[in-house]
Structure 1
Amino acid sequence: MRISVVIPVYNAEKYIPQAVESALQFDDVHEVILIEDQSPDNALRVCQQLAEKYDRVKLYQHPDRKNHGAGPSRNLGIEKSTGDFVAFLDADDYFLPNRFDAEKELFKNPTVEGVYGALGVHYYSEKAKEQYYQLFGDRLTTVYKKYTPKEVFPGQIHMLGSFGLFSIDTLTLRRDALVQKMKFLFKPHLQLHEDTEFLFRLSYYLDLYPGNIDQAVAMRGVHENNRITKVDTGIVDPAVSRELLWREVDLWAGREESISEEIKIHIKRMHRSFEIAKAPTVKKWGMILKYLFTDYKSIRSGLYNINFRYSLL
């Protein structure tokens, strides 16, 4: 295997050395591609030092040297990659020694286009643990049982509570399949949940298989400056960010003729649920009355979905 590991870097000078070295422990990692995204800290200098120290580390910035976000940074990393496979890693997360064990066997089958695994949690400080333990605990982010590739897309969309989740940190893809079958990679206008939207579409276009879903193959690094902190502190309105996510999924699903009407309706109801959640109080009640008469299931299912998915997406 020749794996390109793509790492978008923003405000992560403390964590990026560990992320890079966790990827370099594998002989199958052909290159580690760092996309430095105009960090306000000293991350660029740290990345330069890593690129000087390790031959397999390649450093890039966006052509205009400005900040573009995680999605466009991953897109640039995919564009620059030269491996046969692409894996992703956030700059404050890290791989475990078993990261590619399942992949080595599964990718012997040429029909396997992607493999996903389980993600663990590492708290970088007691303060971070106190703040986010209720959200993450010590639980694995994983799919709960082994599903066929055709079950992955509807499972994520329609039965998240019993299907589970997989993380971009645990995903490995055939580069050719990714580039040839995905009409778009990461959507640049989504500043949050861009990975969730990408995974929805990816599981529709590519055949994804479960790897190690019972043990963590990578660790989510939780600290006070995670992007989730911006949501938690109210800097980013979670209802707005989720409505943008589901609006994007709704628009995409509406253009795909082969997606079943049942799933399209469910997606539209999810969109409506978060549209209601973000609305001002007066408008919210008007929308609720409208859907009570036109599609009451948007309200019934929406209340469950909002409460349940706020802790997941």
Structure 2
Amino acid sequence: MKVSVIIPVYNAEKYVTKAVESALQFEEVYEVILIEDQSPDNALEVCRSLSERYDRVKFFQHPDKANHGASASRNLGIKKASGDFIAFLDADDYYLANRFDAEKDLFQDPKVEGVYGALGVHFYSEKAKEQYYKVFRNSITTVYEKHPPKDVFPGQLNMKGSFGMFSIDTLTVRRNPLLNKMQIFFRPDLKLHEDTEFLFRLSYFLNLYPGIIDEAIALRGVHEENRITEIGINKKIPAKTRSIMWRYVHDWAQKEESMPENFRIHIQRMKRSFDIATASNPKKLIMILKYLILDYQSIRSGLYNINFRKTII
């Protein structure tokens, strides 16, 4: 295996060295690609130093040296990658020693286009643990059981009951299928949940297989400056940002000619549910009544998931 590990770097001078060195421990890692995204801290100098210290570390910035966000940075990393496989890592997260154990075996089968695993949690300080333990606890982010590739996309859409989810940090994909089957990688104009939206589309186009899902193969680094932990503690903001994400998923599903109709309908309902959840009270009542009229049968038959019931309650 020749794996290109892509790390977008923004405001992560304290953590990126640990992330890089956690990837370099593996002989399978052919290169670590750092995309520095005009950090307000000293991350630029840290990235430059890492590229000088380690031959396998390559350091890039956007052509205009400006800040473009995690999506554009990952996209640039994909373009710069030259390995046969691509893996991702956030700059404040890190790999564990078993990161590529399953991948080495699974990718011997050419029909395996991607492998995912379980993500654990590491609190960088007691203050971070005190603030964000109720968000992350010590649990792992994982798909709960092993499923065939055809079930991963509907599973991620919550069409198969309690399916679970996986993280971008635990994903490894073959480079050629990614480049050939995905016209759009990460969406630069989607500022939150951009990785989730990408994983939805990826699981539709590529054959993704479970690797190690009962124990962590990477750890999410939780600290006070992490934008996701700050947002995750506020219950109202995530509903709004998820509504925006589902709008993107919905627009893609409507345009995707090969999309089965039952998937398309489910995605439409998910979008509608989050639209209702984030609407103001007067508008919310009108939307609920409209939904009851237009889609009463699906609610009555129980085909729709709990999101709508939560919205009403």
TM-score of Structure 1 vs Structure 2, range by shorter chain: over 0.9
Paired residues in the alignment total: 309
Aligned to 2:254: 254
- SS of alignment partner, residue 138 of structure 1: coil
TM-score by length of 2: 0.93
In the TM superposition, what whole-angstrom CA distance separates every residue of 1:164-185 from its partner, at most 9, and x where no partner exists?
Answer: 1110000001001100011210
| 1-structure distance, mates of 2:304, 2:241 | 16
CA–CA separation in structure 1 for the residues paired with 2:54 and 2:200: 35
User: Counterpart amino acid of 2:306?
Assistant: Y
Following the alignment from structure 1 to structure 2, what is the Cα–Cα distance between the partners of residues 147 and 303?
20
Question: By how many angstroms is 1:271 displaced?
Answer: 0.4
Cα shift readout 1:204-247 (whole Å, capped 9, x = no counterpart)? 10001111111111001111111223424669932321111001
Q: Any idea what SS the aligned residue of 1:132 has? A: helix
- 1:290 and 2:284 correspond: no
For residues 62-119 of structure 1, give each alpha carbon's deviation from its aligned partner in whole angstroms, at most 9, with x where no partner exists. Answer: 1111111111100000000010000000000000011001111111111110000111
Following the alignment from structure 2 to structure 1, what is the Cα–Cα distance between the partners of residues 10 and 299?
38
Give how far 1:307 is off. Answer: 8.7
1:57 corresponds to which letter in structure 2?
V
1:48-87 to 2 correspondences below 5 Å:
48-87=48-87
Q: Counterpart of 2:306?
A: 304
1:87 partner SS: strand
The 1:18–1:308 alpha-carbon spacing in structure 2 relative to 1, beyond 3 Å, is farther
- Which residues of structure 2 form unaligned runs of 5+? none
Residue identity opposite 1:111 in structure 2: K
In structure 2, distance between residues paired with 1:16 and 1:241: 27
Partner of 2:94: 94
The 3-state SS of whatever aligns with 2:8 is strand
Cα distance in 1 between the residues matched to 2:166 and 2:50: 29
> Which structure 2 residues correspond to residues 61-210 of structure 1 after superposition, within 5 A?
61-159=61-159, 161-210=161-210
Q: CA RMSD in A?
A: 2.1
SS at match of 2:143: coil
Distance 2:152 2:183 in 1: 19
On the 8 A contact 1:4/1:85 being kept in 2, the answer is yes
- Distance, in Å, in 2 between the alignment partners of 1:179 and 1:185 is 9
Structure 1: where are the runs of 5+ without partners?
none
Distance 1:308 1:151 in 2: 25
Identity over aligned residues, as a percent?
Answer: 65
CA–CA separation in structure 2 for the residues paired with 1:63 and 1:301: 48
- Letter of the structure 1 residue corresponding to residue 135 of structure 2: L
User: Structure 1 stretch 131-140 or stretch 14-23: which is displaced more?
Assistant: 131-140
Q: Which residue pairs with 1:42 in the alignment?
A: 42
